[in-house]
Amino acid sequence: MTLSDEQQFLTEVVAPDGYKFTVNTGLFINNEFVAGENTIDTTNPATGKLLATVQAAEAKQVDMAVDAAEKAFHHGWKSSHPRERSRLLNKLADLIERDTDEIAHLESLDSGKAIMGVRNFDAPHSINQLRYFSGFCDKNHGKVIQTNGKLSYTIHEPIGVCAGIIAWNVSTLMITYKIAPALCVGNTVVIKTSEFAPLAALKIAALVREAGFPPGVINIISGYGHTAGEAMSHHKKIGKISFTGSVATGRLIMKGAAESNLKKVTLELGGKSPVIIFDDVENLDEAVTWVHTGGYSISGQACCAGSRVYVQEGIYDQFIEKLKTLVLSKKIGCPFEQDTFQGPQVSETQFKRVMDYIDIGKKEGATCYLGGNSINREGYYIEPTIFTDVTENMRIMQEEIFGPVICVAKFRDENDVIFKANDTTYGLAAGVFTANVTRALTVSKALEAGQVWVNCFMTIDSPIPFGGYKQSGFGRECSEYALMDYIQIKSIKINAGNPV
């Protein structure tokens, strides 16, 4: 296919602030944008109107992408010099930095996220992720092991073709989470975007080619989970798959891996993160701000959202009033207005799901202290909602809502709150607010979560591993720990002339 053939997939997108740009909506396979067997309509959740129609992959196009990745792996990338891999990762980071404004517009249009959040967090963290792992390209070392009369050592080898299936809530960030550690150690990749928000990922695909990556090293396709996703999980040429999304889909990914070639699997799944506010917290106003950010960012559509808030009895009334005041002060509206904090839910389906959970909470006997209604405007907007008088057996305390809903409960002491905080099938994240260092250390250790934030919440950095306990998944994104999921360890033992 020539560049002129790709023109058929070019789509002009116009943002509410007048920003115009063109995105290629084809499947990015072997450094070309090609057609799929079907198409997907992606809509603007702030209006419910069509944004673009993208090409959709099915099993045939998954095969094409995997074959391209396999060829690239065996014909150069596997044996490429670490400095060259580092250079290309840094080049892609430079291009994302250059085009941050366009990427932010696309992600905001496609997912409904406030554009300032994408500019200030998603894009910079994506850039940092690429640059962080570029530094590990020449540090993928094995070990020499002392043995009796033998030279023994290990080497780290790439797996081959690695697949990534990303979520719609932080698509720019998710792409770099999947590709950076995989490419760093010499793998090639096939990424499937979410059908709800593919546009920012397709923009990054164009930057991959501009950066100079060899054909087939990075392939980015759009498609539905039950077609393209299923084909990837069952594909016998894919050696590793990383998935970010729901627990139910994570189980299907594992089943597909087991039924095919026992490919390595890592899962970053749902969460129902507890946030604990002790009465000795040094600055209650700051704690309230962290709770608000952790619970309502991305309209509550974050896997690690602090949706269960436990406040010690003595400061409960003060806390709840401060939280209410802060919630009411934040703007809900068009994602492109600079002072907007909360935009719409990503889709009509997600909107209905959240509203159903709010109705469930009311029927279960919880008090809807604030919000609880849809907002009478174009798009899929829901009021930020606070439930009080909640108990641990309520569905709104046990199940992931993935919307702007926080449940606030009282607790007596450390033992009481640790039991409540751990009373969930999830274990992705948790927060602790206290001025007592000993308490912070003790409670953090007792919490069953992959990451615990003390006197802050949802602060994610490239050098810090991110992942869950229990049904929040396994494996880690970010940090040197992530590299272990993208390598195979080979042991070599050489007889140095010793007799049998």
What amino acid positions are annotated as catalytic residues?
A: 268
**Which residue's structure tokens are 């260092």?**
437
Angle at 328 between CA 326 and CA 333, to 5 degrees: 115
For residues 56 and 79, what is the distance between their CA atoms, to the nearest angstrom?
Answer: 32
For the chain, the C-alpha Rg in angstroms (whole number) is 23
Indicate the helix (H) or strand (E) that contains 97. helix 82-98
* Single-letter code of the amino acid located at 312: Q
Token pair of 416, please?
A: 């009481």
Q: Which one-letter DSSP state was computed for residue 392? A: T
Contact between 372 and 385 (Cβ < 8 Å) = yes
* Single-letter code of the amino acid located at 59: A
The SS3 of residue 234 is helix
Contact between 38 and 228 (Cβ < 8 Å) = no
Contact between 295 and 406 (Cβ < 8 Å) = yes
Q: Which of 81-88's residues contact partners 24+ apart within 8 Å by CB, and which partners?
A: 82/137, 82/138, 82/140, 83/137, 83/138, 85/134, 85/137, 85/183, 85/184, 85/186, 86/134, 86/135, 86/137, 86/138, 87/134, 88/183, 88/211, 88/212, 88/213
For residues 418 and 447, what is the distance between their CA atoms, to the nearest angstrom?
Answer: 7
3-13 CB burial, b ≥16 within 10 A, e <16: eeebeebebeb
**Cα–Cα distances in Å, from 486 out to 213, 386, 395?**
19, 41, 37
The SS3 of residue 15 is coil
For residues 18 and 427, what is the distance between their CA atoms, to the nearest angstrom?
Answer: 42
